């Protein structure tokens, strides 16, 4: 299993470049305001020399896309680098940058099991029009669908292949691991993000509002340092807000690592930040040791 | 200087039954859209809304289509499932075939897999790209156009200028549609897994969507240090509105407005359609933004009164939630006060 480290901070990238990780990822998956500019990207490339490099992009409006265009041109000169696309426009752009390897980002993969509510159980089904004795049957009928993604369909994979997609980004959701095998057998390379399962991405950034930010262009990016824990008194489920994204936490385990390997996953991605509690090189080394 | 383009803007309204279709057509809709409850095991797996939000049977869909066509109104079917797997192909194929047999005029497609299935079925009706594709830039619209979509519904996260740029760049071969008002959702549809129908019992009792819950907020690194905020609507889901911007939107060259609300009741669907029709007519007629806004006031009062009687809460400008405006300008007033108070205490 290879390990990749993901961050939007040059300082962290520099620190992690000295770690045992196999590849470095630079950029942001969810927020276009956190996209690095061209100068930072060039610096990141320099730092990552000797390791595999992946540029991570979020869903973007025209403003963000224009910034990405410039960055892709610069990356193409280097060749052989990966680019995570979480936007159809970026995926389309990548067709014009043949030397780069498109990764299908998590926002382009629909995965119902990212849902934070408990697994489909008797209670849910019982509140549906189906009475109690049908519960077991109903559960067995949908459980396998719930844990699949929209990539569990051959024609979708064929269509994505036309757009050059060779790598797919997935979540650490143990109930879904078995379904990843289908994708690996099709010939896709799979990267699984540990710890953070994105539950929802908000159109307007709650962290920015909470922090009193006034405009996106001048955002001081409080999310780089801080995350919030959202606790509902009766629900008993903790959600985590970082920037414009609400996550639920899935703690990775060695058993999970083994299952991923058995199902053909080649890479685990670790995000650096307060939610994963991997904030420096020492934390990362400890994590790598625990998972190896 | 920005080029102004005005086309005849179509109004696309939601329906969930024959009766609501009759009301909505009378209220001035140019097109109707609806989903139909999918039989088979897929009925257990409603991902983005409750089954009650959809037309219950194919027979009822047929009645809706006949009625709408007799009044020269088109019926657009949404494919409902935002994803597709190998194991549901048969069920979905038969569902879509049954809907198409009732004479629907177009399909709103929510997933690339469903698009692939429709291609294999050699479907001839126009295909519309759902907001589940989250098109937010011209490259994205070009991508969808190339896949064969005739209409693209844009994400709500855009400014008027960004919409104009997309519409002008997309040209005449693809229609661009935007949302009119939002039914209490602050999240990208394509990335939201707060699946309402699957909520635990508690939430069902509370009768609100999960993003309307009141949360206690802690610093994630030091939760033991105590709450930062108590009982706040941090996920901020309340109805959004584009009323003041309709005139500007009409002049970007968009071809249609879509109203959210398949889960609304019949009365609310008809009222929303009537209000939107009046707004569009006013927007097309008024040469100046100032005169539009002046005349808008009377209509706003009517909408506020309806919402107050129906739901008892504040609406429109009182909630300070504008679509198509710059990014951070809409703090929800009660929450904003809590934030300010906190900041004051820190100072």
pLDDT surpasses 60 at A197 = yes
pLDDT confidence band for B338 (50 / 70 / 90): low
* Residue A137 confidence (pLDDT): 60
pLDDT confidence band for B7 (50 / 70 / 90): low
Q: What is the mean pLDDT of residues A96-125?
A: 80
State CA A102 to chain mean position distance. 14
Pick the closest to residue A118 from A274, A235, A256 (CA basis).
A235
B-contacting residues in A 185-204 (Cβ below 8 Å): 198-204
Q: pLDDT per residue over B39-65, tens digit each?
A: 766 666 666 566 778 899 999 999 999
User: Rounded distance, CA A34 to CA A20, Å?
Assistant: 26
CATH superfamily of B10-190+237-287: Aldolase class I (3.20.20.70)
Q: Where are the domains of chain B?
A: 10-190+237-287
The answer for residues whose C-beta is within 8 angstroms of residue A214's C-beta and 6 or more apart is B328
* Residue B307 confidence (pLDDT): 78
User: Rounded distance, CA B180 to CA B287, Å?
Assistant: 20
Cross-chain residue pair B213–A158, CB shorter than 8 Å:
no
pLDDT confidence band for B311 (50 / 70 / 90): confident
* Residue B299 confidence (pLDDT): 86
Cross-chain residue pair B220–A138, CB shorter than 8 Å:
no
Q: Do residue A78 and residue A95 come from a single domain?
A: yes
Instruction: Using DSSP, state whether B44 is helix, strand or coil.
Output: helix
pLDDT surpasses 60 at A162 = yes
Name the residue among A87, A115, A141 with its Cβ closest to that of B193.
A115
pLDDT confidence band for A130 (50 / 70 / 90): very low
User: Rounded distance, CA B117 to CA B98, Å?
Assistant: 14
Chain A residues in contact with B47 (beta carbon < 8 A): 112
Q: Do residue A143 and residue A49 come from a single domain?
A: no
| Average pLDDT score, chain A | 89
Does A231 reside within a domain? no
Other Cβ atoms closer than 10 A to A162:
9
What's the CATH code of the domain at A26? 3.20.20.70
**Rounded percentage of chain B residues whose pLDDT exceeds 90:** 45
pLDDT surpasses 70 at B74 = yes
What are the phi and psi torsion angles at B230 (to 5°)?
Answer: -115, 130
Q: pLDDT per residue over A34-89, tens digit each?
A: 999 999 999 999 999 989 999 999 999 999 999 999 999 999 988 789 999 999 99
Q: Which two tokens stand for residue A120?
A: 């489909």
* Residue A122 confidence (pLDDT): 39
- CB proximity B19 to A under 8 Å: no
Q: Do residue A50 and residue A183 come from a single domain?
A: yes
Cross-chain residue pair B113–A123, CB shorter than 8 Å:
no
Chain B residues in contact with A63 (beta carbon < 8 A): 162
- CB proximity A213 to B under 8 Å: yes
- CB proximity A220 to B under 8 Å: no
User: Rounded distance, CA A30 to CA B19, Å?
Assistant: 42
* Residue B293 confidence (pLDDT): 86
Q: Report the gap between the CA of B15 and the closest CA in chain A (Å).
A: 22
Instruction: Using DSSP, state whether A227 is helix, strand or coil.
Output: coil
pLDDT confidence band for B225 (50 / 70 / 90): confident
Instruction: Using DSSP, state whether B200 is helix, strand or coil.
Output: coil
pLDDT surpasses 70 at B337 = no
Name the residue among A61, A93, A154 with its Cβ closest to that of B158.
A61
Q: Do residue A48 and residue A98 come from a single domain?
A: yes
Q: What is the mean pLDDT of residues B103-113?
A: 96
Q: Do residue A55 and residue A100 come from a single domain?
A: yes
Q: Do residue A17 and residue A64 come from a single domain?
A: yes
- CB proximity B322 to A under 8 Å: no
* Residue B341 confidence (pLDDT): 56
pLDDT confidence band for A224 (50 / 70 / 90): confident
Other Cβ atoms closer than 10 A to A62:
20
The answer for residues whose C-beta is within 8 angstroms of residue A250's C-beta and 6 or more apart is A171, A172, A173, A174, A194, A195, A196, A197
- Residue B233: enclosing H or E segment and its boundaries? none
* Residue B247 confidence (pLDDT): 92
A-contacting residues in B 184-243 (Cβ below 8 Å): 186-188, 190-195, 198-204, 211, 213-221, 223, 228, 234-236
Name the residue among A91, A198, A215 with its Cβ closest to that of B328.
A215
* Residue B303 confidence (pLDDT): 84
Chain A residues in contact with B223 (beta carbon < 8 A): 229
Q: Do residue A126 and residue A169 come from a single domain?
A: no
pLDDT confidence band for A121 (50 / 70 / 90): very low
Give the predicted TM-score (pTM) of the model.
Answer: 0.91
Q: How many CB pairs under 8 A join A and B?
A: 240
Question: B199 or A251, which is more confident?
Answer: A251
Q: What is the mean pLDDT of residues B299-314?
A: 79
* Residue B135 confidence (pLDDT): 96
Cross-chain residue pair A231–B187, CB shorter than 8 Å:
no
CB B210 within 8 A of CB B187: no
Cα dihedral value A51, A277, A196, A188, nearest 10: 20
Q: Do residue A180 and residue A129 come from a single domain?
A: no
Q: Which structural domain, as residue segments, surrounds residue A130?
A: 117-147
The answer for residues whose C-beta is within 8 angstroms of residue A80's C-beta and 6 or more apart is A99, A101
| Average pLDDT score, chain B | 84
Q: Do residue A165 and residue A134 come from a single domain?
A: no
Chain A residues in contact with B156 (beta carbon < 8 A): 203
pLDDT surpasses 50 at A185 = yes
Q: What is the mean pLDDT of residues B230-243?
A: 76
Does A213 reside within a domain? no
Does A86 reside within a domain? yes
Q: Do residue A170 and residue A287 come from a single domain?
A: yes
What are the phi and psi torsion angles at A172 (to 5°)?
Answer: -85, 80
User: Rounded distance, CA B232 to CA B212, Å?
Assistant: 9
Q: What is the mean pLDDT of residues B171-176?
A: 90
Q: Do residue A129 and residue A272 come from a single domain?
A: no
Q: Do residue A262 and residue A184 come from a single domain?
A: yes
Question: B260 or B314, which is more confident?
Answer: B260
Total number of domains constituting chain A: 2
The answer for residues whose C-beta is within 8 angstroms of residue A69's C-beta and 6 or more apart is A93
Cross-chain residue pair B234–A127, CB shorter than 8 Å:
no
Name the residue among B156, B198, B223 with its Cβ closest to that of A229.
B223
- CB proximity B156 to A under 8 Å: yes
């Amino acid at each position: 299993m290879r390990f990749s480290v993901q961050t939007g901070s040059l300082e962290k990238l520099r620190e992690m470049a000295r770690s045992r990780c196999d590849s470095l990822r630079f950029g942001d998956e969810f927020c276009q305001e956190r996209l690095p500019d061209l100068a930072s990207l060039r610096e990141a490339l320099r730092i990552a020399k000797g390791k595999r490099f992946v540029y991570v992009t979020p869903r973007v409006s025209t403003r963000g896309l224009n910034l990405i265009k410039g960055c892709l041109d610069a990356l193409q000169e280097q060749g052989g680098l990966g680019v995570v696309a979480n936007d159809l426009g970026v995926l389309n752009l990548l067709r014009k940058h043949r030397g780069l390897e498109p990764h299908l980002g998590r926002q382009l993969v629909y995965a119902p099991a990212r849902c934070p509510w408990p697994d489909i159980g008797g209670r849910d089904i019982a509140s549906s029009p189906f009475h109690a004795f049908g519960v077991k049957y109903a559960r067995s009928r949908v459980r396998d669908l719930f844990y699949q993604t929209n990539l569990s369909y051959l024609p979708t994979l064929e269509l994505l292949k036309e757009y050059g997609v060779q790598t797919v980004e997935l979540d650490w959701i143990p109930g879904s691991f078995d379904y990843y095998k289908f994708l690996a057998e099709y010939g896709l390379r799979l990267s699984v993000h540990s710890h953070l399962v994105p539950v929802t991405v908000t159109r307007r950034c709650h962290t920015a509002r909470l922090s009193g930010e006034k405009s996106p262009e001048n955002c001081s990016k409080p999310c780089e340092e801080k995350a919030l824990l959202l606790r509902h008194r009766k629900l008993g489920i903790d959600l985590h807000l970082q920037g414009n994204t609400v996550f639920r936490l899935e703690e990775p385990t060695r058993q999970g690592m083994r299952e991923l390997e058995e199902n053909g996953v080649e890479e685990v991605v670790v995000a650096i930040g307060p939610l994963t509690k991997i904030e420096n090189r020492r934390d990362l080394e400890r994590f790598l040791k625990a998972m190896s | 200087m920005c080029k102004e383009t005005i086309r005849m803007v179509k109004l696309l309204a939601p329906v969930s039954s024959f009766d609501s279709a009759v009301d909505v057509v009378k209220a001035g809709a140019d097109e109707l859209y609806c989903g139909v409850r999918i039989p088979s095991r897929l009925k257990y797996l409603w991902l983005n809304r409750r089954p009650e939000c959809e037309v219950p049977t194919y027979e009822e869909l047929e009645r809706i289509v006949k009625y709408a066509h007799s009044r020269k109104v088109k019926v657009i079917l949404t494919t409902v499932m935002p994803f597709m797997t190998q194991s549901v192909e048969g069920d979905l194929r038969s569902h879509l075939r049954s809907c198409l047999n009732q004479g629907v005029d177009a399909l709103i497609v929510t997933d690339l897999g469903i698009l692939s299935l429709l291609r294999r079925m050699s479907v001839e009706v126009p295909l519309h790209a759902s907001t589940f594709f989250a098109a937010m830039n011209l490259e994205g619209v070009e991508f969808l156009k190339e896949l064969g979509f005739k209409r693209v519904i844009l994400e709500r996260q855009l400014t008027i200028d960004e919409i104009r740029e997309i519409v002008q760049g997309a040209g005449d071969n693809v229609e661009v549609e935007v949302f009119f008002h939002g039914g209490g959702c602050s999240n990208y549809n394509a990335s939201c897994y707060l699946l309402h129908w699957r909520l635990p019992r508690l939430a069902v009792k509370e009768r609100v969507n999960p993003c309307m819950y009141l949360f206690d907020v802690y610093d994630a690194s030091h939760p033991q240090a105590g709450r930062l905020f108590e009982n706040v609507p941090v996920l901020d889901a309340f109805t959004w509105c584009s009323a003041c911007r309709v005139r500007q939107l009409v002049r970007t060259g968009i071809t249609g407005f879509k109203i959210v609300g398949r889960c609304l009741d019949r009365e609310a669907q008809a009222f929303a359609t009537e209000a939107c029709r009046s707004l569009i007519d006013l927007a097309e007629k008024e040469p100046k933004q100032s005169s539009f806004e002046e005349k808008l006031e009377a209509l706003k009062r009517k909408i506020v009164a309806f919402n107050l009687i129906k739901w008892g809460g504040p609406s429109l400008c009182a909630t300070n939630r504008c679509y198509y405006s710059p990014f951070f300008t809409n703090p929800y007033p009660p929450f904003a006060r809590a934030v300010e108070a906190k900041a004051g205490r820190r100072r």
